[in-house]
Amino acid sequence: MKNEIQFELFGDYALFTDPLTKIGGEKLSYSVPTYQALKGIVESIYWKPTIMFIIDELRVMKPIQMESKGIRPIEYGGGNTLANYTYLKDVHYQVKAHFEFNMNRPDMEFDRNEGKHFSILQRSLKAGGRRDIFLGTRECQGYVEPCEFGSGKGFYDEVDADYPLGTMVHGFNYPDETGRNQLEVRLWRPVMEKGYIKFPRPEECRITRPIKEMEAKFFNEDNVEFAEALARSLGGE
């Protein structure tokens, strides 16, 4: 497919925070990345408002391990609080995703060139992403590289029992993706099978809760600078 991306994702630590654990100032990671976290990682590899990424599948390559650390959160008003954060340790995943044109953005119709976006996406992946990769939070640096999804040996390949992961945050519905002037959160109940987790599309999530009203930012040829024009302005060819 000319709109698909497959990559390895790995790092020493990750913190995909369960929001229920933040109430008392502590943080506990989910056992696996959320759909929204993976979407943010793909957008760190390459993003344009013309397209939106759909996360199709995740493969957990290494055993799920956790490690607690005593952390002193930054308190701009002063204080010396010690909090307990529980991280995922030594994480390694394979991710499969694809992009689609965002039909809720008619203002970006002039930029709907699948081949162009696919080529830039693949080059950006080989370079390790256009922006820094974070595994849930800034202190957890991540790394990406191309792969063939499903290749290699995973820790859970021979595990026959399904692995229910409880109720998790799936992601957020933003106005520029839904056409509604509202920010919403989606929830779901994933089950891992032999290390694989298949994500439903955002519109297939049945549990959705409104958060606040929000409007999308619109783009057009007047406030989007094309790469060719930018190169000329910087003295390039």
Reported as a single tens digit per residue, the pLDDT across 8-57 is 999 999 999 999 888 777 899 999 999 999 999 999 999 998 999 999 99
pLDDT of residue 51: 93
CB 141 within 8 A of CB 11: yes
Long-range contacts of residues 142-146, Cβ cutoff 8 Å, at least 24 apart: 142/9, 142/10, 142/11, 142/14, 142/41, 143/9, 143/10, 143/11, 144/7, 144/8, 144/9, 144/41, 144/45, 145/7, 145/8, 146/6, 146/7, 146/8, 146/122
Q: Which two tokens stand for residue 106?
A: 């008619």
pLDDT of residue 237: 45
pLDDT of residue 14: 97
pLDDT of residue 81: 79
**Structure pTM?**
0.86
- Which parts of the chain have pLDDT scores under 50? 230, 237
User: Would you give the end-to-end CA distance of the chain in angstroms?
Assistant: 32
Domains and CATH numbers, the chain: 4-165+194-199 (3.30.70.2660)
29-38 residue pLDDT tens: 999 999 999 9
pLDDT of residue 119: 94
